[in-house]
Amino acid sequence: MAMAAMQNSPEVLAPCGSPQCVEAAVNCGCDAVYLGAQEFSARQGCANFTPQQLKETVQYCHTNGVKVYQAINTVVFDSQMKDVAHMLKQACETGVDGIIVQDLGVITLAKEICPDMPLHASTQMTVHTVGGVKMCERMGLCRVVAARELPIDNIKKLCVTGMPIEVFVHGALCMSVSGQCYMSAMIGSRSANRGMCAQACRLPFSAVAGADRHDLSLKDMSYFSYLDKLRKAGVASLKIEGRMKRPEYVAAAVHSCRQALAGKEYDEELLKNVFSRGEFTDGYLFSKTGREMFGMRTADDAQQTKEALPAIHELYRRPYKRFMADMKIRAAVGEKLALSVKSGDICATVTGDILQAADSRPTSEEEIKKCLAKLGGTAYEVGKLECVSDGVAFVSAAAVNKLRREALESLDSQRLKNNTAIYNCGEYAPQKDSKRKKRRQEIRVHLNTLNQLDSEIYVMAQLIILPLVELEKLDKIEGKMCAALPRFDLNEEQTAQRIERLRQLGLKHVLATNLAHFELREGLAIHGGFGLNVTNSRAAKMLQNLGARDITASPELTHAQMARLQTPLPLGCVSYGKLPLMLTANCPVKAFAGCKNCTRHITDRTGRKFEIACRKEHGYVEILNSDTLWLADKLSDFETLDHLDLLFFEEPPARIKQVIKAYIAGEALNKAGNITRGLYYRGIQ
């Protein structure tokens, strides 16, 4: 008998890309579903939900005691804010139970439009530390979807904060940390931050010599064997990935999750067959990154899926038994047949026709109870059955069945009403739209090592940005020096100590590359990095409120969009260098070649080389673009910006000085090599 989850059991959260997936998830026992409307969802490639379908889905789910979370979790442009406001208002009117968000601007807009609506931090916000959780709380969010790359000990730390933590337990893994991938956008203008990812990591890439390799493709994760560990860690919600998948996948994953959570065996082979990339991995949960985590979906995998699908239909053919129904019926001659049903804290009483005495044989209590107990095809399980009969009346089966249906319908109606929140809705207030004025631009130099810095570079640049490990080599930190904080950090406490030591040496500036870094705001000038994904004016305002001194726009904006950003903060953009296309906690070169044989690059199917920036002291690497961004001869299109960020990886001081001088003078590239204008002219979908 499958009933309500055990005490302190985390929520089972199912992915739904279509109404058919909702039925599969609910009938297999999920506690909540997450889905997207037809815009502003991080899975734009699935069917998604029309307004009418969303309304019907919420009613269906709430009747079954299942929550509905709507994903409005892409970055948005200023020109789209009115449409987002309309969608937020629709979400309020529909009565969804929460909204999953990525964009800081959408958070501020949601607070204006629907201040009572629960907001969940999407995994696209790259929250993976206690500091990040605290910043989400400060912004008014009530749940955090943690980054997929976290080990169990780090998950425990997040849960101790008291913020409900949602953890992915099954489904596809992106090579890049979510919210920090620009590869799909840069290659084909299809932005992962806009729900249009083309899955570039599934294309051929080689970390070592050899053809037809896929060294950026990870296996799917599955943590179902460790759900008790996650429950004990304090995880609030167990999230299944897969809004792009079909109903059979959803059914198999939810059923397996429910079985595992109850301490029962689940059919792992069936789970693999319905969708996998050879095998599953639990590498991130136990810090076992490496070659074993990589895999590709094969023709054999696809054939196994085809063969497995028919067997899965049985899993969701009938409703999941969620509710206990206690029933009491009274049958007496001269009185109306009366049925009372109680389920949890709701009850219903219905009556039928006045009963007559039986002509020959009275209807027995056992016969009446047998009719009442026919709850197949409903979400109810038989509880206490009580029949009070005078032993004389005739009670037809049809009369009992009719009352039973009416009573359960009344319970469903009450549950729907009780489970559907009523929100107060505000009005959308558009911001002033005008082009920024021409600015005097600063040059900000991002270096990889201290060896790239000399006195002339120090004089020419207004800010010198270096990794923590490089600044720690200095005895004294001069005023222009800025610490680039780690973009991904599994040891936040140690990093905070390192920053404090640098502060004692004179550090006054830090580059915030993650929301968690705004926890360090006391006594330091915080400069917002490109990884904060600022694409609209409201996001800029939010960062000002969090303590940013200035910000760098998302590299996914066009120059025209940047020129129209209405930000109270000085604004800049990445203007030179090899943009980090992926931030990954699993180095492909280390996995396939080993650190001793590091080639420092991967190669795509066209022969292009993508260099690897190793940040092993923090547990991640960055995969850099193969082409160098060059805008020195295009600066008239960027004249409204306050600063230009020049990213240097392995360039020697002489080359760095040439580049800086070219940007000061506005010159074309004076050295051969592949250059790109990034997305500043072609934009993204």
Using CA atoms, how far apart are residues 65 and 142, in angstroms rounded to an integer? Answer: 20
Answer yes or no: are the C-beta atoms of 619 and 494 closer than 8 Å.
Answer: no
Using CA atoms, how far apart are residues 35 and 92, in angstroms rounded to an integer? Answer: 15
Question: 583 — alpha (psi -120 to 50), left (phi > 0) or beta?
Answer: beta
- pLDDT at site 670: 66
Mean pLDDT of 118-130: 97
Place of tokens 């997450």: 34
Answer yes or no: are the C-beta atoms of 99 and 117 closer than 8 Å.
Answer: yes
Q: Which residues pair with 602 in a beta bridge?
A: 610
pLDDT in tens, 228-261: 999 999 999 999 999 999 999 999 999 999 999 9
Answer yes or no: are the C-beta atoms of 403 and 368 closer than 8 Å.
Answer: no
Mean pLDDT of 56-68: 98
pLDDT in tens, 557-584: 999 999 999 998 999 999 999 999 999 9
Using CA atoms, how far apart are residues 112 and 106, in angstroms rounded to an integer? Answer: 10
Give the pair of three-digit tokens for residue 409.
Answer: 């319908």
Model confidence at 1, in pLDDT bands (50, 70, 90)? very low
- pLDDT at site 669: 77
Distance of CA 286 to the CA centre of its chain: 21
Mean pLDDT of 371-377: 94
How deeply is 637 buried, as exposed, middle or buried, from its count of CB atoms within 10 A (0-12, 13-18, 19+)?
Answer: middle
DSSP 8-state class, residue 78: G
Residue 434 has pLDDT above 80, yes or no: no
Among 42-51, 84-93, 188-197, top mean pLDDT goes to 84-93
176-180, 369-373, 416-420, 615-619: least confidently modelled range? 615-619
Mean pLDDT of 199-208: 92
Residue 398 has pLDDT above 50, yes or no: yes
Residue 4 has pLDDT above 90, yes or no: no
Residue 138 has pLDDT above 50, yes or no: yes
Non-local (6+) Cβ contacts of 275 within 8 A are 220, 242, 245, 249, 301, 305
- pLDDT at site 3: 39
Mean pLDDT of 94-122: 97
**CATH (residue range 11-173+218-316):** 3.20.20.70
11-173+218-316 and 442-578+627-676 in the same fold:
yes
Using CA atoms, how far apart are residues 628 and 621, in angstroms rounded to an integer? Answer: 19
Give the pair of three-digit tokens for residue 283.
Answer: 């590498």
Give the pair of three-digit tokens for residue 543.
Answer: 């960062």
pLDDT in tens, 153-188: 999 999 999 999 999 999 999 999 999 999 999 999
Using CA atoms, how far apart are residues 102 and 139, in angstroms rounded to an integer? Answer: 12
Counted residue by residue, the chain has a size of 685
Please state, rounded to an integer, the average pLDDT across all residues of the chain.
94
Using CA atoms, how far apart are residues 564 and 43, in angstroms rounded to an integer? Answer: 28
- pLDDT at site 300: 87
Domain range list for the chain: 11-173+218-316, 323-419, 442-578+627-676
- Assigned architecture for domain 442-578+627-676: Alpha-Beta Barrel (3.20)
Using CA atoms, how far apart are residues 440 and 612, in angstroms rounded to an integer? Answer: 34
Answer yes or no: are the C-beta atoms of 174 and 181 closer than 8 Å.
Answer: yes
Q: Which has more pLDDT, 388 or 209?
A: 388
Using CA atoms, how far apart are residues 39 and 19, in angstroms rounded to an integer? Answer: 16
Non-local (6+) Cβ contacts of 597 within 8 A are none
Beta pairing, strands 165-171 & 601-604: unpaired
Residue 561: CA atoms inside 13 Å, Cβ hemisphere, count? 22
Q: Which has more pLDDT, 311 or 372?
A: 372
Place of tokens 């709380």: 137
Using CA atoms, how far apart are residues 407 and 581, in angstroms rounded to an integer? Answer: 58
